[in-house]
Amino acid sequence: MFTWDFPYASQRMPVLAKNVVATSQPLAAQAGLQALARGGNAVDAALAAAITLTVVEPTSNGIGSDAFAILWDGEKLVGLNASGRAPAGWTPQRFAGRAAMPVHGWDAVTIPGCVSAWVALSQRYGKLPFTDLFQAAIRYARDGFMVSPITAMSWARQAPNLKGFSEFSWTFLPKDRAPRAGERFYCPQQAETLEEIAATKGESFYRGKLAERIALASQADDGAHTVEDFAAHRCDWVEPLSIEYRGYRLHEIPPNGQGIVALMALGILRHFDLAALPVDGADALHLQIEAMKLAFADAYRYVSDPATMEFEPAKLLDDAYLERRAKAIDMRRAQAHAPGEPRAGGTVYLTTADASGMMVSYIQSNYMGFGSGVVVPGTGISMQNRGAGFSLEPGHHNLVGPGKRPFQTIIPGFLTLDGKPEMSIGVMGGQMQPQGHAQMVTRIVDWRQNPQAASDGPRWIVNADFSVSFESSRFAPGVLDELASRGHRIVDPEAAMFGFGGAQLIWRFEDGYCAGSDHRKDGHAIGF
C-alpha cells in the first residue's frame, strides 16, 4: 500500500462558477452542491455541508458543537450567534481550587448551539425541507465513508488523549485506534440521532428525548447539565461589527467571539502603507505580528459575554484609540504589549454562494478537536469543550458563571465594498482565526492576490504566549533570522496547537464567484 505523504509542493486553481461551495472536506462540499442542484439556495447548501461535516470530519466538529454565521441575504448583512451558555449550576464555587477550567469531561461542556443554528437559518432563509438537508450526513453515518488523509492524521494525533473516555473509544476508535486514510468509518448511532433532529426540527435536542439523554448522561458523571439548561438555550440574530480597511469593510460577529481581534489588527495596520513593502518580507511581517499582539492583548483582557463586558466593543474599534495603538509599534524591535485603555479615547469553516447573490459565511466547532472527550452513550454526539474558554480569575470579565457565554474562538468573516457583498471568508483553527482573516484581507487588498493565492501563501501565527510560529520552509532565506534579530520569539510550529488553519474564501464577481480552498485541509471548492 502506498503512503499518504505528499512530499512535493502543489498548487490549486480557484473555482469560477455561478453557484459555489468551499469546505474543508470533499464529501461535505458535494453535499452542499447537491442541495444547490436540487433547487436550494446558499443557506441550504451551507447547512447540508455543515451537517455532513459532523459525520465526515468528526475531528473538528460534531452535533455537540457551537456555530456562528454571517450571510448576505440579498439585501443586507445578517449575523447569527449560536454559541452555548454555561449550565445554571456553573458557579465559580463549583470550580473552586482549580487553577484553570478543565478541557475534558462534562465540566468543559457548555450547552451546544449548532443544532439551533441549523434550525434558525433553515426557518428564516432556507428553501428546501429541513429533512432534506440531512440526507448525505445520514447516509455517510449509516453506510460509512472513506476517511480522508488530513482527517486521518488529526484523528490519530488526538486519539491517545481521549482513550480514557470509554464511550469515545467505543464510538470513534472501533479497532482500538484511529481509522487510517482510506478506511471506511461507520457511526450508525449518529445516523439515528440526525434522523431524530431532522424529524423534530431540532426540538428533541433542546426540549425532548435527546435533551433528556444528554442531561442524564451528564448527571450520571457528576455533570451539572439539566433539561432546563437545554430548554433555556437560544441563538441570537446579531448585527456584525465592522471596520473600514482601504475602502473595503470587514465584518465580524461581535463578542463573545474573537472576531474583534481581526478588526482591531486591521484598524492598526491601516496606519501603515503595507502595499509599499514586499508581501512576505520582514518589515511587512513585523508590522502584522505586532498589530496582532496589540489586538490580542486587548481581547484577552476585555472580551467576554457582551452582558458582562466593561464597555461597548465599539470603543475598542475607535479610530483614535487604534491610532494610539499603532504608534506603540517600533519597527526595530518586537515588544510584549500590554492591554490598552480604550475608555480614555478540531473547527470547520465553510462558505457558499448562489446565483441569486446570497452568500453564507458559516463556522462550527468542538473547539479542541473532538472537544471534551464526552460522547453521549448510544447517540454518536461528541460534545464540545467551550467551557475551557472561561476564566477562573476572580473579577475577570470572562469569569465562569451560570447562563454565561464563554470567550469564543470561532468566527466567520465577511468583506463588503460600498455596502455590497465582496467576499465571504473564514480560516479555521483556534487563535489562528482572526490572524487568518487579517492575513487573507491584507494579501488580497494590499497585495492584490487572488483568493486561492492568498490561501496558498505562507502563514504565521502569534501563539497564546505571544511567541510566533512560521511555516518556515515557505519564507525566503533570512526573513525569519531578521525577525528574530528584532526580538521575536520564534518557536517550532508544533507549538501552534491548531496549526496554521484552513481557509475557505468566495469572492463575488459581477456574474459569478471565484472560490478558493486551503491545501492545508482535505477539502476543495466546487461549483456549477
For the annotated catalytic residues, the residue numbers are 347
Phi-psi region of 184 (alpha: psi -120 to 50; beta: other; left: phi over 0): beta
Crossing angle (nearest 10°) for helices 282-302 and 259-269: 140
Determine the Cα–Cα distance for residues 212 and 485; give it in Å rounded to an integer.
58
Indicate the helix (H) or strand (E) that contains 56.
helix 42-56
**Listing from the earlier edge strand, what are the strands of the sheet with 15-17?**
15-17, 512-517, 502-509, 420-428, 413-417, 248-252, 241-245
The three cell numbers of residue 399 are 469569569
How far is Cα 361 from Cα 68, in angstroms, rounded to an integer? 8
- SS3 annotation, 407-466: CECCCCEEEEECCEEEEEEEEECCCHHHHHHHHHHHHHHCCCCCHHHHHHCCCEEECCCC
Give the H/E segment covering residue 172.
helix 166-172
Alpha carbon 212 to chain centroid distance?
A: 28
- The CA distance from 199 to 147, in Å, is 28
Side chain identity at 93, as an amino acid letter? Q
| β pairing state of 20-23 and 66-72 | unpaired
Longest CA–CA separation in the chain, Å: 64
Which residues are within 8 A (CB) of 435 and not within 5 positions of it... i.e. 6 or more apart?
Answer: 261, 262, 265, 292, 427, 460, 461, 462, 501
Three-state secondary-structure class, residue 173? coil
**Chain Cα centroid distance, residue 108:** 18
Nearest CA to 154 out of 172, 142, 134 is that of 172
Q: What does the DSSP assignment read for 106-160?
A: GGG-PPP-HHHHHHHHHHHH--S-GGGGGHHHHHHHHH-EEPPHHHHHHHHHHHH
Q: Which three cell numbers stand for residue 526?
A: 466546487
